[in-house]
Chain A
Amino acid sequence: MRLHEYQAKEVFVEAGIPVPDAELARTAEEAVAAAEEIGYPVAIKAQVHVGGRGKAGGIELVETEEEAREAADRILGMDLKGFHVDRVLVEDAVDFVNELYVGVTMDRGVGRPVAMVSTRGGVNIEEVAEEDPDAIAREHVDPAFGMHDFQARKAVYDAGIDRDVAGDVASILTTLYDLWEERDGSDAEINPLMVTADDEVIAADAVFNIDGDALFRQPDLAEMEDEAAEDDLEAKANEYGFDYVRLDGNVGIIGNGAGLVMTTLDLVDYYGGAPANFLDIGGGAKAERVANALDMVFSDENVDAVVFNIFGGITRGDEVANGINSALGQFDDIPKPVIVRLAGTKAEEGMEILNTDLVQVEATLEDAVQAAVAAAEEVDS
């Protein structure tokens, strides 16, 4: 789960990481009032989950009331890489001499957390990592001990941070690590960490992503989850409890198990079609879940045909078949052709139960996918 910049900064401030004066605004009036209170120049920053906001026009530096109003007017309501902007952060523009980077994440390959420091802040750190990996100092942390103070110093000095601010940067890194650990972070990042002419160090941007599997023990962070910003269909999937990802093709896909659903997407592509979504209904799919899944893909207007692929382990083919029959039986007209393939537990019974007036039945995964691709093409033409 991702926090917005202003939410991440609230969490950072609480932990003792310095951030610029700022206020959240939902209207141009609020933005201007905030700017007047903070004092110009201020940065007006769109609060959306998009990387490269600045380049996309979502951040503007303003020096007067008029500029502030104009910028807030323009940014509020804009569409930033598919995300609607409904709030901005109005923030004191820090006069900096240097931009640094500090971050903490889980290095899954090693199975341990890693703390990172670089003098190359203010730019896309992933590009730095690719072009010049030595420009980022990395320190792996033993999760049994947490980060030792010396490790923060080591990372800071190895990165070549100026001696005058090294102590402060190390202390911010330590705080960031402890925060990441206590609040079940997946990624915590300050980029840029700005250094002022007076050698003050301040977090000008903030990323704090939280492990979704740990939200049960971070109730206050869970409350910050911003479902309105998500795609409507993805919000609906949340409600139904499905793993769902929307894509831009026209073949709707429903299946059980992440690997098999991904494989079904890949096969749609392999046979010349374009997948519209990833939808995993999970194990033990009962009639209601089947109906909800069909409702999901039917309500995606891009979908022209649906492939329903179940390999039953715990999931029983006869139950899925009954679920499909009853869900589709409620329509006078089935909105989109549905191709079904059942395998595994009680699959043969399921195939017999399926009402072939409502669905097309195929015996193998390959046949079902090809039939769905063909059906989608026919509808499309």
Chain B
Amino acid sequence: MSVLVDEDTRVVVQGITGGEGKFHTEQMLAYGTSVVAGAVPGKGGQEVAGVPVYDTVSRAAREEDADASVVFVPPAFAADALFEALDAPLDLVVAITEGIPTQDMSRVYRRQQETDTYLVGPNCPGVITPGEAKLGILPGNIFSDGSVGLISRSGTLTYQVVDNLTERGLGQSTAIGIGGDPIIGTDFIDALELFDADSETDAIVMCGEIGGEDEEDAAEYIDQHVDTPVVGFIAGRTAPPGKRMGHAGAIVSGSGTGTAESKINALESAGVPIGDTPEEVADSVDELL
């Protein structure tokens, strides 16, 4: 088993005719993902990488029996694409796009709350269940099949931690890049709930970073509800206040909220060991399993 995606997931790629959309469609197909359609307004009837393109998401979903989408649509049009995906409807929408205006995401998030759709991202690398399917831009070759569930706000940090895990023979059940923006769909708590209910996930790694209070909220949730052991990592210990560290969401406010220290303390109080280095994270998981 796994969470969110598996070999039966049927995917529509929104923005499939763009450079990134096309490239990553090929990569996803090569990994074995069932990419069954593309959706681009005005481009219906074309084919990209052997995949039929439709004008609307709902038509693509209907004709090809799709239940998920991956969104590569540029920021100015991304909110509309997400509303369209939520309307289709689909079970899962993975938003890769970076740079969507925050107020747009506030409206999308508000709409998503009325649906049963899982929205992952935006500004995320995607979701992968090793050996079955990947939805997004994650490099498939570094992942291996196993029982560690991974949740991360950052792409390349995920790759680093996965590399350390794989080196020790610790494969992954599913890895979810939840994204680096201030407002995201699936958050740590949603992902923890999914992994905790998954019989094939024996340990969970969560990679957080500075900014916001999601890690603190997750710590409280872990303390009260999660039985599966959790190991954590927090990036941004050395970040100065008031400076955005790459991700739109990675910023320690002037008043001192969102610091690494506060997140580490909260998680440690909830019994979550925090690695000082990515290697230590893998060591902790190794000891647990």
Contact = CB atoms under 8 A, between A and B. Distances in A.
Contacts of A68: none
A365 B278 contact: yes
Contact of B245 (A142, A211, A262): A262
A313 B255 contact: no
Given A243-B246, A258-B180, A258-B250, A263 B157 contact: yes
Interface in B126-149: 137-139, 141-142
B237 A269 contact: yes
A311 B238 contact: no
Interface stretch (A13-21, A32-40, A107-115, A198-206): A107-115
B18 interface: no
B210 A313 contact: no
Given A259-B153, A263-B235, A312-B139, A143 B103 contact: yes
A314 B101 contact: no
B212 A108 contact: yes
Contacts of A258: 154, 180, 209, 245-247, 250
B168 interface: no
B254 interface: yes
A160 interface: no
A265 B240 CA distance: 11
B152 interface: yes
Interface string B79-107: 00000000000000000000111111111
Contact of B159 (A129, A265, A268, A313): A313
Interface string A293-312: 00000000000000000011
A112 B212 CA distance: 13
Interface in A129-152: 129-130, 142-144
Interface on chain A toward B: helix, strand, loop, or mixed SS? Answer: mixed
A244 B276 CA distance: 24
A181 B244 CA distance: 22
A174 interface: no
Contacts of A144: 107, 110-111
A102 B138 CA distance: 44
Given A111-B109, A211-B101, A258-B154, A344 B139 contact: yes
Nearest to A266: B237
Interface in B266-284: 276-279
Nearest to B157: A259
Contacts of B250: 258-259, 262
A165 interface: no
A278 B212 contact: no
A85 to B, nearest CB: 19
A341 to B, nearest CB: 10
Interface string B249-271: 11001110000100000000000
B207 interface: yes
Contacts of A343: 159-160, 163
A55 interface: no
Contacts of A51: 254
B75 interface: yes
Interface string B37-81: 000000000000000000000000000000000000001100000
B236 A266 contact: yes
Given A112-B106, A257-B157, A278-B245, A265 B163 contact: no
B102 A262 contact: no
Interface in A262-304: 262-263, 265-270, 275, 278, 280
Interface of B: 75-76, 99-107, 109-111, 125, 137-139, 141-142, 152-160, 163, 180, 182-183, 207, 209-210, 212-214, 217, 233, 235-240, 243-250, 253-255, 260, 276-279
The 8 closest A-B pairs by CB, nearest first: A259-B154, A258-B246, A257-B156, A259-B157, A126-B255, A214-B101, A260-B156, A262-B235
17 contacts: A106-B103, A106-B106, A112-B110, A126-B254, A142-B110, A143-B106, A143-B110, A213-B101, A255-B156, A259-B154, A259-B235, A263-B233, A278-B239, A278-B246, A313-B138, A313-B159, A345-B139
